[in-house]
Structure 1
Amino acid sequence: MNTSSISTTSSGTTASIIASNKVIRNTYMLLSMTLLFSGVMAALSVAFNLPHPGLIITLVGYFGLLFATYKCQNSGWGLVSVFALTGFMGLTLGPIISSYLSLPNGGQVVAQAMISTAVIFVALSAYAITSKKDFSFMGGFLMVGILVAFLAGLGAVLFSIPALSLAVSGMFVLLMSGLILYETSNIMRGGETNYIMATTSLFVAIFNLFTSLLQLLGFFNGDD
């Protein structure tokens, strides 16, 4: 069997598994809609040149809406909360994208970050789905790693340490890649049965993966 046949078979297997798994099917459907909505909000933020709300408002808004989504996950309000959360994150992303687009190679950097994020997500998700491996062992490591990276990121912002900020971005690329594997595996194995929370986890992973790649690619392209 040649390479193209193997690739086609793998894609067919992945599609078949998604179609037969209700939770992951609903998760991917909602994830697609929230990504689109967040993208529209980010585009509007760029178009109207909205300023960044600042660290405090961003953190309060993010954790507040994340908590609301968790509390409402089993009701219709959960859908409202997850769109509010992803829309808010899109608005905060707009000013960041604007700052890169204003640079000489900014458009190329943003496009590279988007494409890289999409490729990484699709590849890791397909691997987790088709291999059916149990990645639950990563849970504790990811929790600690994300907490450490988050605190280090706050330190980098508060004390203006570019080198630490780049290191944190590198950590987040690895951690968010691991989170995609972990969450997808968790859905496949029945550990996560709520598609709203599954969507939230995967969206956060994609968002942080994109922003981290954006900073790294910006640095290596000489834009930062």
Structure 2
Amino acid sequence: MSYDQFQMQPPSPQGMGTLLTPFVRETYRLFLFGMLGMSGLGVLSYNLLPHSPLFAIIGGIFSLIMWIAVCFGWRKPTRVVLPLFTLATGIMMGWLGHQYGHVFLPGTLLTLGAFTGLTLYAHTTRKDFSYLIGFLWTSFWILLVGIILNIFLHIPLLSLGIAALGAIVMGVWVLFDTSRLLRDNGQTMTPGEAATELLLDIVGLFRWILRLLDQFR
């Protein structure tokens, strides 16, 4: 997921030949390591955050800066960006564990199920989902306006709608980015960059699902 990259590369004949190319395998290997790193750091930050308000503030600012930088295009060098992003997201996971503790487990299961299902669909069909970019771009601005309005209005129905749309948008990002990495096959992206895109997608999906479930408590 990157809001500065709205052009799908043309299909690569080399990339369409096989499903699990070395590029795809390396991408998912890095993705798995990133997920494990975030989980471990999340457990650590969950246990440290309650005992150190200063750490929570510093960690929150660091996480926010990293997320803004990565969402808007910081991908290189991946050997620096990916570990820093993993660290920042791990810190954020500890905060989410406290904020949404009552829905954290079901949110995790729903996220893993949705991400796996969408990924398998993109892999088995090999469809080109580049046509969804218009929906993603429009939805970004709708979400941004909705979030700003809800800061002042505090309308429960609006909060529910924002959370639902956010979850849908992130699901679409999973399809878009998975299709993109399959068709690109290393022509314009490195495995580290592709793994970062997928990590952005699953963590973003997780956050919106947590917000959606929280509306029903």
**CA contact 1:23–1:193 (8 Å) conserved in 2:** no
In structure 2, how many angstroms separate the alpha carbons of the residues matched to 1:152 and 1:196? 33
**Per-residue CA distance 1:158-200 (angstroms, 9 max, x = gap):** 6544433322211111111111111111111127532222212
2:200 counterpart (199, 204, 207): 204
RMSD: 2.5
Q: Is the partner of 2:163 in helix, strand or coil? A: helix
Q: 1:113 to 1:190 in 2, by over 3 A?
A: same
List aligned pairs for 1:3-18, cutoff 5 A. Answer: 17-18=19-20
Please report how far the alpha carbon of residue 60 of structure 1 lies from its aligned counterpart in structure 2 after TM superposition. 2.6
Deviates more, 1:47-56 or 1:29-38: 47-56
Number of paired residues?
Answer: 193
Q: Is the partner of 2:49 in helix, strand or coil? A: coil
Is 1:131 aligned to 2:133, yes or no?
A: no
In structure 1, how many angstroms separate the alpha carbons of the residues matched to 2:142 and 2:61? 19
Is 1:64 aligned to 2:69, yes or no?
A: yes
Please report how far the alpha carbon of residue 138 of structure 1 lies from its aligned counterpart in structure 2 after TM superposition. 0.8
Please report how far the alpha carbon of residue 154 of structure 1 lies from its aligned counterpart in structure 2 after TM superposition. 4.2
Q: 1:22 to 1:144 in 2, by over 3 A?
A: farther
Specify the alignment match of 1:3 in structure 2: none
Specify the alignment match of 1:140 in structure 2: 134
Is 1:53 aligned to 2:57, yes or no?
A: yes
Gap regions ≥5 residues in structure 2? 1-17
List aligned pairs for 1:1-224, cutoff 5 A. Answer: 17-18=19-20, 21-50=21-50, 51=53, 52-53=56-57, 58-65=63-70, 69-70=74-75, 72=76, 77-101=77-101, 106=102, 109-157=103-151, 160-190=154-184, 193-220=189-216, 222=217
Q: 1:69 to 1:116 in 2, by over 3 A?
A: same
Q: Is the partner of 1:134 in helix, strand or coil? A: coil
In structure 2, how many angstroms separate the alpha carbons of the residues matched to 1:31 and 1:79? 13
Q: 1:66 to 1:149 in 2, by over 3 A?
A: closer
In structure 2, how many angstroms separate the alpha carbons of the residues matched to 1:94 and 1:157? 24
For CA contacts below 8 A with separation 6 or more, give which structure has more relative contact order.
2
The one-letter code sitting in structure 2 at the alignment partner of 1:53 is I
Q: Which has the higher helix share?
A: 1
**CA contact 1:120–1:177 (8 Å) conserved in 2:** yes
In structure 1, how many angstroms separate the alpha carbons of the residues matched to 2:65 and 2:184? 32
Q: 1:159 to 1:88 in 2, by over 3 A?
A: farther
Q: Is the partner of 1:193 in helix, strand or coil? A: coil
What TM-score does the superposition give when structure 2 sets the normalisation length?
0.77
